[in-house]
Chain A
Amino acid sequence: MKRFEFVEASSLAQAAKLAAQPNGAVRAGGIDLMDLQKEHLAEPDRVISIRRVPGAAEIREEGGALVIGPLVTLAQLASHPVALAKWKAVAVAAGEAASPQVRNQATVIGNLLQRPRCWYFRNELLQCARKGGPDCLSQEGENRYHAIFENKDCAIVHASNVSPAAMLFDGSVKTVKADGSRREIPLAKLFVKPEVDITKEHVLEAGEVVEALVLPAKAGGDHSSFLAAREKSAFDWPLFSLAVRLEMSGNVVKAAQIVFGAAAPTPLRREKAEAALVGKAIDEATARAAAALCFEDATPMTQNGYKVAMGTALTARAILAAV
């Protein structure tokens, strides 16, 4: 790990200002940052901790929306009674990430913004396309854990459990920049596809600090579902994950949202399947038909074709669970 200066910010605006200076990094839970520093994938000269910023660890309901501060941990969100009641998929997704130890330290925002886990990306000695190398090493390499959608330029899978669930609620992040200005970015516009900029996973500028994740309340949030398949039962990255929210009118679907997590480089809305569900009663057959639609455009690689069958089954189950 490269030596760095450690600074404790007293406000998020101050943190943004400090982090914008060359080679600064903001530290909340510090889980991913530490990993990146150890492998020399991040070499900040200055680490700005926001752990002493007052009020940053709060979850509150504001105007019907759930507002999650930048120091709220995954464990906090997972056990939050209001989140569990109205934003169920989000709380469940937070509670299934990593291990209890990690969930007690890792923040929800950090979970959204963490860098990919691709084993080519995470190895300092390998120059993959995301790190400025000529090509994506997974294409002809070991790609069993890689993306089955939008995977031609770079086949990372989006690493966050929380983001597909948060997208069900048309969530957004509120940020503060180095110059003190503030903006709100919808999650649908937060994440960057490799074809747009292969070196970035999100649109935040240097020094831009997230002040809150805002999740408006939505009908069907109370039984929204999140499912993930892993090789191990816990402390393992998903092979595939998704979140589903259904707004029902009687036993007929009024509106649907399906978002894939660990399937593509960014969270993936499945609009075609969503539309197909509208106006239908949900049973095994409609769920399976919609699930199949979700994978029409899948482009599995040499070793990850299994994710199509696995994902289709999981999608049908998540739809059934969201009724």
Chain B
Amino acid sequence: MASNSRKNVALDREDVLKLGFAGNVVEKRVTRKDDEVRPWDLETKFQYVGTRVPRFDGLAKATGRAKYTYDVNLPGMLYARFVRTTVAAGTVKEIDLSKALALPGVKAAEQVWDLKNPVRYAGQAVAVVCCETSEQCDDAVRAVKVQYERKPHVVTVEDAIKDDAPQVGNRKNATEPQIGRNAVDVEEIDAALKTAAATVDVTYRTQVQTHTALETHGTVAHFTKDATGAEKLYVWASTQGTFTVREGLCRALKLEANQVEVISEFVGGGFGAKFGADETAIWAARLSKKTGAPVKLMLTRKEEHLCTGNRPDSVQHVRAGCDKDGNLVAWHVRNWGTGGVVPNAGARNPMIYTPRGMKTRKEEFAVLTNCGPQAAMRAPAHPQGAFANEQVVDELAEKLGMDPIAFRLKNDSYKQRPAQYELGKKLIGWERRNPKGGDGPLAGTGARKRGLGVAAATWGVNGGADGTAVAIVISPDGTVEVRNGCQDIGTGTRTLLGLTAGEALGCPKEKIRVRLGHTTDPFGPASGGSVTGPTLSAAGVEAGHAAKLAFLRKLGPKLGVEASSLDVVAGKVTSKDGKSWSWDDACRQLGVESVEITHTRGENFDAGFQGTVGGVQLAEVEVDTETGFVRVIKVVAIQDAGTVINRLTFESQVLGGVIQGISYALYENRWMDRRSGFMLNPNIESYKIAGAADMPEIVTVAFDLANGLNSAGVSGLGEPTVIPTAPAIANAIANATGVRVRELPMTPDRVLAALAAAKGGAK
């Protein structure tokens, strides 16, 4: 039996945890220190956890009281904006700031660009202006005269891998192939495919998707002096990492950590592109230092598309095969993708189907193009890979005449999946699925055909300690302040931390006040890899427990009761001899003293029930076979993520994943103009994002599970739900029409082309 991995602690108490889910419960022995919280498991009785709690800041957000970085306006504040390259390749010969500096209201104009550097895409910052008003910035940007020497550019993978393509970087545009782990050689793949009962040899394509968070990147910086006369930099940042911003600014401006305070109470989304001190943070701070005034530097929507990150595209050539029973025997992928000027474009084909004996080979080529750089984006590389993988398994199942879910289960070792599929089948009405693509009662005989599809995903990051700590202050007035310095990027972190700490402490939840987003508070994680939930919820549980013990130790003598006989249960302080005090009465006993603790989160436990999270999604679509228009009718999303702290924010996260997945599946696409090298749609008019009218019925199901991975048993949820949506829709389109659309987004032109090709090629 596995034991926990906590090191260097006195292990003086043993618990047997009940982990797993109904129908698959396992016991696991854990040892812990006497004063540590018992990790949450299937037997833990909760007061708030698992209920539906409106987010603590919901009203503030809905009424506009919540202030995002974009909303921060300080007395005497100046505005700044970048001047960006208008050629896709070449060099900058000269930057003339004089005309800009002569304009009214212009307080500063700085060259950002090193003339020695080559221009590698249209949208790189070459200068920055700083003015009294935002409108003056518009004028000043246009007054900066930049001379370029143009060079040939290349903006598509197809063009960039040609022998005579202009070279984007210092070496060939395509990297040497990166070969995946445990790869066999091509001959072994070929041999395995020869023995296969069914094979596919197909190419899938996915597009470049830009993050397009509602709030653009940006910073308000105020370089000033504190009461002692020491330099102090206050920074409001739209970021996924308050502490990484602080660290970056300390380095860039040569300041000590104590001299920089980053504030980020509300963030309008990030999706992976908002880590660290970006150019807005560094230049807002430098310009504030130079002008002596606070400076606001928010990017425009256009800049947001051009230079702040994107999900690379992919061209995935897949050869795969299975035996007659549906066991996969071989899987060979060659993928080309571009991360723009960054040589990182893996589709990584995250395989969740890895039966014993399957031969695999993965070759990935990252191709440089004169386009904006990629950045991590919600489940980096997974949605691309899953779009191919989840259709390939469907294609193989179809060839064998097998149900695609039965086929998947043959090749999937994820413990929860069979139960998730059973639930999903019921909720979508799987028995209605057309027995053959395009042919069945659901497809019908008219121009509009319906079909059902399925896809699955697994995600494997669970956060950790890494120094994360939570401070809790219990005041005599009964309020409980819970503090951590990390940010809530919109996922509900504030509520999650409050509920986990409050649950362990036992206080009424109405007494909880959570403060996030100040680097003067204890350290917290950057929000990437879905780590914030598991990191902070475990920290919250442990800190809440520690606060309770500290509170009772202080309270005992005041009540004339042994602290060890006291407990806090459901908002009341109780003693073993049956006495009880209301929370407020008990807190009043503190007099003028507060109880204040800071607790550093413990390590994760190893080998809980399952180290990854997973889910399945099932989609019903209607395809207009004459116009190519695809309407998603319904999506069922079943997802596990360990303990569900708050069902409302859990659902919100799953909904967000599905919505972004639908948008990726059907609408979003960055269009580059090959001739000019410009992005043609750096807006949200022709860069199309799903809107309210495009939304189907979305049914979310939290698959409850105790995983024993950390004190709260919580895993991350932000990323896995965006992965299976597009392939589930694609599989539903194939079921509706009998035709596969192998390219994202599945717009009417592509659906019509696939239908026409099938008609033309029909034997």
Say yes or no: B752 contacts A126, CB within 8 Å.
no
Q: Show 9 residue pairs from A and B whose CB-CB distance is below 8 angstroms, ordered by the A residue.
A: A125-B86, A230-B629, A232-B667, A233-B693, A234-B694, A239-B748, A306-B748, A306-B752, A306-B753
Does any Cβ of A come within 8 Å of B14's Cβ? no
Q: What 0/1 pattern do residues 597 to 633 of B give for CB contact below 8 A with A?
A: 0000000000000000000000000000011110100
Other-chain residue from B447, B673, B690, B752 in contact with A232 (beta carbon distance below 8 A): B690
Other-chain residue from A120, A140, A233, A303 in contact with B694 (beta carbon distance below 8 A): A233
A306-B753, A310-B748, A310-B752 given as contacts; is B627 within 8 A of A231 (CB)?
Answer: no
Say yes or no: A309 contacts B756, CB within 8 Å.
yes
- With a cutoff of 8 Å between Cβ atoms, the chain A residues found around residue B685 in the complex are 117
Does any Cβ of B come within 8 Å of A34's Cβ? no
A231-B667, A233-B691, A233-B694 given as contacts; is B749 within 8 A of A144 (CB)?
Answer: yes
Q: What 0/1 pattern do residues 51 to 92 of B give for CB contact below 8 A with A?
A: 000000000000000000000000000000000001000000
Does any Cβ of B come within 8 Å of A123's Cβ? yes
B170-216, CB < 8 A from A: none
Does any Cβ of B come within 8 Å of A137's Cβ? yes
Residue of A nearest to B666 (CB): A231
Say yes or no: B752 contacts A140, CB within 8 Å.
no
A214-261, CB < 8 A from B: 229-237, 239
Does any Cβ of A come within 8 Å of B459's Cβ? no
B674-707, CB < 8 A from A: 674-676, 678, 680-681, 685-686, 688, 690-694
Say yes or no: A231 contacts B688, CB within 8 Å.
yes
In the complex the two chains form, what is the Cα distance from A140 to B674 in whole Å? 9
The 8 A-B residue pairs with the shortest CB-CB distance, nearest first, are A313-B626, A234-B693, A306-B749, A233-B693, A119-B680, A306-B752, A310-B627, A233-B694
- With a cutoff of 8 Å between Cβ atoms, the chain B residues found around residue A154 in the complex are none
The A interface is mostly helix, strand or loop, or mixed, namely loop
CB distance from B667 to the nearest CB of A (A): 6
Q: What 0/1 pattern do residues 745 to 759 of B give for CB contact below 8 A with A?
A: 001110011001000
Say yes or no: B693 contacts A314, CB within 8 Å.
no
Does any Cβ of B come within 8 Å of A195's Cβ? no
Say yes or no: B675 contacts A141, CB within 8 Å.
yes
Say yes or no: A234 contacts B691, CB within 8 Å.
yes
Does any Cβ of B come within 8 Å of A179's Cβ? no
In the complex the two chains form, what is the Cα distance from A232 to B749 in whole Å? 13
In the complex the two chains form, what is the Cα distance from A123 to B667 in whole Å? 21
- With a cutoff of 8 Å between Cβ atoms, the chain B residues found around residue A1 in the complex are 135, 138
Say yes or no: A123 contacts B748, CB within 8 Å.
no
Number of residues from B at the complex interface, CB < 8 A: 35
Does any Cβ of A come within 8 Å of B414's Cβ? no
Q: What 0/1 pattern do residues 111 to 148 of A give for CB contact below 8 A with B?
A: 00000010110010110000000000100111011000
Number of residues from A at the complex interface, CB < 8 A: 33
Query: Which residues of A are at the interface with B, using a C-beta cutoff of 8 A?
Result: 1, 3, 40, 99, 117, 119-120, 123, 125-126, 137, 140-142, 144-145, 229-237, 239, 303-304, 306, 309-310, 313-314
Does any Cβ of A come within 8 Å of B671's Cβ? yes
Other-chain residue from B135, B142, B692, B747 in contact with A231 (beta carbon distance below 8 A): B747
In the complex the two chains form, what is the Cα distance from A3 to B671 in whole Å? 32
Say yes or no: B749 contacts A137, CB within 8 Å.
no
Given contacts A137-B676, A141-B673, 17 further A-B contacts (CB under 8 A): A1-B135, A99-B691, A119-B681, A125-B678, A126-B673, A126-B676, A141-B675, A229-B629, A231-B747, A232-B694, A233-B691, A236-B688, A306-B752, A310-B626, A313-B447, A313-B626, A314-B626
Kindly count the residue-residue contacts between A and B in the assembled complex, taking CB atoms under 8 Å apart. Answer: 83
CB distance from A317 to the nearest CB of B (A): 8
Query: Which residues of B are at the interface with A, using a C-beta cutoff of 8 A?
Result: 86, 135, 138-139, 142, 447, 626-629, 631, 666-667, 671, 673-676, 678, 680-681, 685-686, 688, 690-694, 747-749, 752-753, 756
In the complex the two chains form, what is the Cα distance from A137 to B676 in whole Å? 10
CB distance from A140 to the nearest CB of B (A): 7
In the complex the two chains form, what is the Cα distance from A40 to B141 in whole Å? 13
In the complex the two chains form, what is the Cα distance from A142 to B674 in whole Å? 8
Say yes or no: B671 contacts A142, CB within 8 Å.
yes
Residue of A nearest to B686 (CB): A119
A309-B626, A310-B628 given as contacts; is B678 within 8 A of A232 (CB)?
Answer: no
Say yes or no: A232 contacts B691, CB within 8 Å.
yes
- With a cutoff of 8 Å between Cβ atoms, the chain B residues found around residue A141 in the complex are 673-675
In the complex the two chains form, what is the Cα distance from A277 to B655 in whole Å? 49
- With a cutoff of 8 Å between Cβ atoms, the chain A residues found around residue B749 in the complex are 144, 303-304, 306
Say yes or no: A235 contacts B756, CB within 8 Å.
no
- With a cutoff of 8 Å between Cβ atoms, the chain A residues found around residue B673 in the complex are 120, 126, 137, 141-142
- With a cutoff of 8 Å between Cβ atoms, the chain A residues found around residue B680 in the complex are 119-120, 123, 142
- With a cutoff of 8 Å between Cβ atoms, the chain B residues found around residue A229 in the complex are 627, 629, 748
CB distance from A213 to the nearest CB of B (A): 25
- With a cutoff of 8 Å between Cβ atoms, the chain A residues found around residue B138 in the complex are 1
- With a cutoff of 8 Å between Cβ atoms, the chain B residues found around residue A119 in the complex are 671, 680-681, 686
A229-B748, A306-B748, A310-B752 given as contacts; is B678 within 8 A of A123 (CB)?
Answer: yes
Task: Determine which residue in A120, A123, A234, A306 has the highest number of CB atoms from chain B within 10 A of its CB, and name it.
Answer: A306
CB distance from A126 to the nearest CB of B (A): 6
Say yes or no: A140 contacts B675, CB within 8 Å.
yes
CB distance from A226 to the nearest CB of B (A): 15
CB distance from B508 to the nearest CB of A (A): 42
Task: Determine which residue in A99, A137, A231, A237 has the highest number of CB atoms from chain B within 10 A of its CB, and name it.
Answer: A231
- With a cutoff of 8 Å between Cβ atoms, the chain B residues found around residue A117 in the complex are 685-686
In the complex the two chains form, what is the Cα distance from A236 to B668 in whole Å? 13
Say yes or no: B675 contacts A232, CB within 8 Å.
no
- With a cutoff of 8 Å between Cβ atoms, the chain A residues found around residue B747 in the complex are 231
In the complex the two chains form, what is the Cα distance from A93 to B196 in whole Å? 55
In the complex the two chains form, what is the Cα distance from A99 to B629 in whole Å? 19
Other-chain residue from B678, B681, B753 in contact with A126 (beta carbon distance below 8 A): B678
Task: Determine which residue in A120, A137, A145, A233 has the highest number of CB atoms from chain B within 10 A of its CB, and name it.
Answer: A233
CB distance from A72 to the nearest CB of B (A): 24
- With a cutoff of 8 Å between Cβ atoms, the chain A residues found around residue B666 in the complex are 231
CB distance from B128 to the nearest CB of A (A): 20
A231-B688, A233-B693 given as contacts; is B675 within 8 A of A137 (CB)?
Answer: yes
In the complex the two chains form, what is the Cα distance from A120 to B631 in whole Å? 29
In the complex the two chains form, what is the Cα distance from A234 to B694 in whole Å? 8
Residue of A nearest to B745 (CB): A231
Residue of B nearest to A236 (CB): B688
- With a cutoff of 8 Å between Cβ atoms, the chain B residues found around residue A309 in the complex are 626, 628, 752, 756
- With a cutoff of 8 Å between Cβ atoms, the chain B residues found around residue A142 in the complex are 671, 673, 680
CB distance from B273 to the nearest CB of A (A): 24
- With a cutoff of 8 Å between Cβ atoms, the chain B residues found around residue A123 in the complex are 678, 680
Residue of B nearest to A313 (CB): B626
In the complex the two chains form, what is the Cα distance from A1 to B135 in whole Å? 8
- With a cutoff of 8 Å between Cβ atoms, the chain A residues found around residue B86 in the complex are 125
- With a cutoff of 8 Å between Cβ atoms, the chain A residues found around residue B675 in the complex are 137, 140-141
In the complex the two chains form, what is the Cα distance from A309 to B756 in whole Å? 10
- With a cutoff of 8 Å between Cβ atoms, the chain B residues found around residue A233 in the complex are 631, 691, 693-694
In the complex the two chains form, what is the Cα distance from A40 to B667 in whole Å? 28
- With a cutoff of 8 Å between Cβ atoms, the chain B residues found around residue A137 in the complex are 673, 675-676
- With a cutoff of 8 Å between Cβ atoms, the chain A residues found around residue B694 in the complex are 232-234
CB distance from A309 to the nearest CB of B (A): 5
In the complex the two chains form, what is the Cα distance from A161 to B746 in whole Å? 25
In the complex the two chains form, what is the Cα distance from A144 to B671 in whole Å? 11
Say yes or no: A231 contacts B693, CB within 8 Å.
no
Task: Determine which residue in B694, B747, B749 has the highest number of CB atoms from chain A within 10 A of its CB, and name it.
Answer: B749
- With a cutoff of 8 Å between Cβ atoms, the chain A residues found around residue B678 in the complex are 123, 125-126
CB distance from B693 to the nearest CB of A (A): 4
CB distance from B754 to the nearest CB of A (A): 11
CB distance from A173 to the nearest CB of B (A): 27
In the complex the two chains form, what is the Cα distance from A142 to B687 in whole Å? 14
Residue of B nearest to A229 (CB): B627
CB distance from A291 to the nearest CB of B (A): 11
CB distance from B124 to the nearest CB of A (A): 15
A123-B678, A306-B749 given as contacts; is B627 within 8 A of A232 (CB)?
Answer: no
A123-B678, A137-B675, A235-B691 given as contacts; is B686 within 8 A of A314 (CB)?
Answer: no
